[in-house]
Amino acid sequence: MSDNEVEKFEITDYDLENEFKTSRPGRRQTKEQQIYGIWAQESGDEEEGEPESLNVPLPRARVLRGGLNFVSGGIQQSGKKDDKDKKEGSDEDSESELAPRPMFGAGADSSDEEITAKTQLPSSFVSKKSSDYSSYTSSTSKPRDIAGIRRSGTQGGGKPGLLGSGMADWEKYTSGIGSKLLKKMGFEEGKGLGKNLQGISTPVEASKRKGKGAIGYYGSERTEKSLKDFPVHDSDEEEKEKFKDLLQQWKKTGSKKKIKYVYKSAEEVIQEGKTKKLKPTDDSHITRTKVIDMTGPETRVLSSYHAIAGQKNFVDEYEEDKKKKYEHFDLPELLHNLQMLLENCEDDIVRNARTLERENDRIVHLNHEREKYESLVDREKKELDSLDQALALVEGLETRHKEQTLNLSDATAIFTELKSDYLKIYNTFEIPYLAPTYVTPLLKELLSTWNPLAQPTAHKEVFATWQQLVDLGGNQHQQPDTTVPLDPYHHLVWETWTAAVRSTVMGPWEPRDCGPLLAVLEAWNYPLVPVWIQGHLLQHVILPRITRAVHNWNPLQDTVPIHTWLHPWLPLLVDHLQSVYPVIRQKLSAALVHWHPNDRSAKMVLQPWKRVFSEIAMTTLIQSNIQPKLESALVEMPINPHNQNLDPWHWFLDWDDLLPPQVSLDMLERCFFPRWYQALATWLSANPPHPDVIAWYKGWRDLIPKSVANHLQIRQKFQQALEVCSRALSYQPGASDQFSLLLAGLDKLSEPPPPPPLGSPPRQRSKDWADIISSARRETLSMREVVERRCLEHGTVFVPIPDRKHEGRPVYRCGKLNISFNKNIIYVQTERGWMPKSLTTLLDDA
């Protein structure tokens, strides 16, 4: 190229016209070349149609596409003699132009190139290699030769002597590592491999194929000798046949695929279709639904919902049809229809199988329902029969009741039969509520001649039988005036037994004779008589009679003490008798107005009421009626050490268990000890012997009531007396020592008693009526009772002051103070008037 020439790279019209043409000009492009362009592969079939020309040179790409020809070089056997090798060498020289040598060659070259190659070769190469090159050109003269395909003229041209002549001469240009490795392994030139240098046992033989296919394309290429030496098993043949079938599928022009038919039974179709979603049938409600599709440019009316899923875009359908490849006699419409028929048939099989299974389940369910309703019908029939029989019994009971021929034994038998044989009907229809209507007149007639006081346990068995028949376990605290219907048995007892007992209590019964009526109530207690009925009798029938008898009681005229006929009712009327206690205390106070302490009958009357009345009520009664009389007796009692009259003192000691300790202390401090000190002082002035004084002292100390003998105030009084005696009689020999011993004895008495041992049993309470009352009394205490108990604990006097009141409320003496109570508030009388105080302050000031 000269300097003036310029290479142009612009795009010309020729480039635009031939931009998609990959083949030579004037040739028609194949379909594959049209699709893939320069990446298309040229098939060998198209080249077969080209005319053969040996004179036209082929391009290099065409030569390379033609493939390589492998030509057999013959067989060399080891262990031959040298003269044989020479002979074979002479034969090889003579037949060099015909026999091919092991070499590689391209598709085919022209004859001009052949001649040019010969002329241009050096003289050293021409003489020896001319025959080889000619054979090379002859082997590649035809373009149809491909790899592994030989012509008939090239078969059997190899000589074994070729392997020995000039073998590995090319190693002179290399390091010769191949020969060195072979020699190290025992190889010798001119001999074969193996233990005995025998070479290969079965030489590789060349065989001609039928066509131009690849290795193994036309089946096995083994010779008879190789088959004899290495037999082939049937399994190998089958594998080869399978491999041959698979091998032919890759080739474009290969044979057609074998059609495989799959046969399925109805059971297999049903098994596979268990999870299959079937299309809706024409009779389904989904298929009869009109659908308006407004998703596209135009409104369309579809026949059902499943038509929405079946519609496709026309462009998509065209693209799918375009991609499909059909052969000459393929009928896609027929295949589609057959496939649709097949799918519909499978759907029908699955649908029928599901319908059959559903119907079988329905049959099982209907059979179960039939059995259930049959058993229900049988049960209802039995119940109807039982109901008819029970109704017949009730109708017979009604008929006999109207005819007045029914007796108690027949009614008992009918109700017993109803409850034992028809228990469900007996409870469902509440047949026990019929008993009051039919049985009440019969029981009234039975109890009309009954005297409860004379026969308290009569007719108990009759009522026990009816309790088992008609008792429904009603409320035990129910009242007859409520809107809730009474229990049938309660109704019977209320109308019959209660009426009989009420008439007896209101008639001939005398409250002073309480034993027979108590026996009746004890015999007819719960559960034979309901609790509320017994309570009604006690409160509204018996208690009014007792109250009337208490009002008519006169303690001065009645020879029977009131506690003998009133205390037995305490367990039954423990709270309801509180209303008669004030009347009893009033009558007792009136009877004690003219009482003298020498009359011990008063203590016999008051002693049973100590635990019945409250502690305050009993203390008030004692202080109002007994204490003044005892104080008068103590004041009038003369104290004479030489001639002492102890009758008034014994009267005082008789009331020790009834008098509260504070009352006894107050009486001794005011009525006895001042006069006793005065008599002692008078006697000591006469200088009596100290043994007489000590004896007199011990006598009076032993006469002190036991309830207050160890009290602090009593010990202080006697201690003062001993100190006076010790000072007055100290001049007498031995007097001081004896009085000191007496003082030491007082100190020991002041010590508290030891506690009981751990294993000792608790003190048992008496079981009289007073214990029952005290245990049943409420523990709710008022402020006055609290103050009274605290004063008892501290040893402070707490007594009511007679005829003294503040704002209509009684006034009490608490130690040195006067107090009153108003709504649990303590009021103390001071110089400024009545002031409220706390309990702690009151006890400290008192």
Write out the two tokens for 347. Answer: 């759907």
Token pair 């400290």 is at which residue? 844
- Which of these, 551, 543, 599, lies nearest to 574 by C-alpha position? 543
218: left (phi over 0), alpha (psi -120 to 50) or beta: alpha
Nearest-angstrom CA–CA distance, 245 and 770? 122
In 3-state terms the chain splits into helix, strand, coil percentages (rounded to 5) of 55, 5, 40
What are 116's strand-pairing partners? none
Query: Are the C-beta atoms of residues 616 and 662 closer than 8 Å to each other?
Result: no
pLDDT at residue 410, rounded to an integer: 92
Query: Are the C-beta atoms of residues 272 and 280 closer than 8 Å to each other?
Result: no
Phi, psi of 153 (to 5 degrees): -75, -15
Q: How far is CA 252 from the centre of its chain?
A: 71
pLDDT at residue 756, rounded to an integer: 47
Alpha helices in 404-487 (DSSP H): 408-421, 423-428, 435-447, 460-470
Nearest-angstrom CA–CA distance, 343 and 349? 10
pLDDT in tens, 171-207: 767 767 777 887 777 777 777 777 777 666 666 677 7
pLDDT at residue 352, rounded to an integer: 92
Using the Cα atoms of residue 565, residue 568, residue 573 and residue 575 in order, give the sign of their dihedral: positive
pLDDT at residue 485, rounded to an integer: 81
Strands 825-830 vs 798-806: parallel, antiparallel or unpaired: unpaired
pLDDT at residue 521, rounded to an integer: 92
Which ranges of the chain have pLDDT less than 50? 1-2, 44-58, 60-165, 254, 749-779
Nearest-angstrom CA–CA distance, 502 and 508? 11
Residues 6+ apart with CB under 8 A from 571: 769, 772
Nearest-angstrom CA–CA distance, 474 and 477? 9
Nearest-angstrom CA–CA distance, 775 and 760? 23
Nearest-angstrom CA–CA distance, 585 and 621? 7
- Which of these, 140, 114, 139, 109, lies nearest to 126 by C-alpha position? 114
Nearest-angstrom CA–CA distance, 696 and 706? 18
Nearest-angstrom CA–CA distance, 843 and 846? 5
Nearest-angstrom CA–CA distance, 395 and 389? 10
Nearest-angstrom CA–CA distance, 595 and 629? 8
Nearest-angstrom CA–CA distance, 775 and 11? 133
Q: Is 57 helix (H, G, I), strand (E, B) or coil?
A: coil
Query: Are the C-beta atoms of residues 162 and 76 closer than 8 Å to each other?
Result: yes
Distances (CA, A) of 396 to 388, 400, 636: 12, 6, 90
Query: Rounded to the nearest 5 degrees, what angle is found at the Cα of 262, between the Cα atoms of 261 and 264?
Result: 145
Nearest-angstrom CA–CA distance, 523 and 510? 19
Nearest-angstrom CA–CA distance, 5 and 670? 168
| Helices 497-506, 515-523: inter-axial angle, 10-degree rounding | 170
Write out the two tokens for 114. Answer: 């052949």
Q: Is 759 helix (H, G, I), strand (E, B) or coil?
A: coil
Q: Is 297 helix (H, G, I), strand (E, B) or coil?
A: coil
pLDDT in tens, 726-758: 888 877 777 777 777 777 766 554 444 444 444
**3-state SS of 634-649?**
HHHCCCCCCCCCCHHH
Nearest-angstrom CA–CA distance, 765 and 770? 10
Using the Cα atoms of residue 661, residue 664, residue 667 and residue 673 in order, give the sign of their dihedral: negative
Token pair 């395909």 is at which residue? 149
Single-letter code of the amino acid located at 92: E
pLDDT at residue 83, rounded to an integer: 45
pLDDT at residue 655, rounded to an integer: 92
Nearest-angstrom CA–CA distance, 198 and 192? 6
Buried b (16+ CB within 10 A) or exposed e, 432-442: bebbbebbebb
Distances (CA, A) of 299 to 293, 302, 317, 337, 635: 6, 10, 21, 30, 133
Nearest-angstrom CA–CA distance, 346 and 553? 113
In a 10 Å sphere around its CB, with 0-12 CB exposed, 13-18 middle and 19+ buried, how is residue 610 labelled? middle
Strands 809-814 vs 798-806: parallel, antiparallel or unpaired: antiparallel
Alpha helices in 576-639 (DSSP H): 581-591, 601-606, 615-625, 627-636
DSSP codes joined into one string, 324-335: ----TT--HHHH
Nearest-angstrom CA–CA distance, 571 and 575? 9
Nearest-angstrom CA–CA distance, 312 and 317? 7
Q: What letter does residue 136 receive in the DSSP assignment? A: H
Nearest-angstrom CA–CA distance, 115 and 637? 189
- Which of these, 720, 718, 684, 685, lies nearest to 700 by C-alpha position? 718
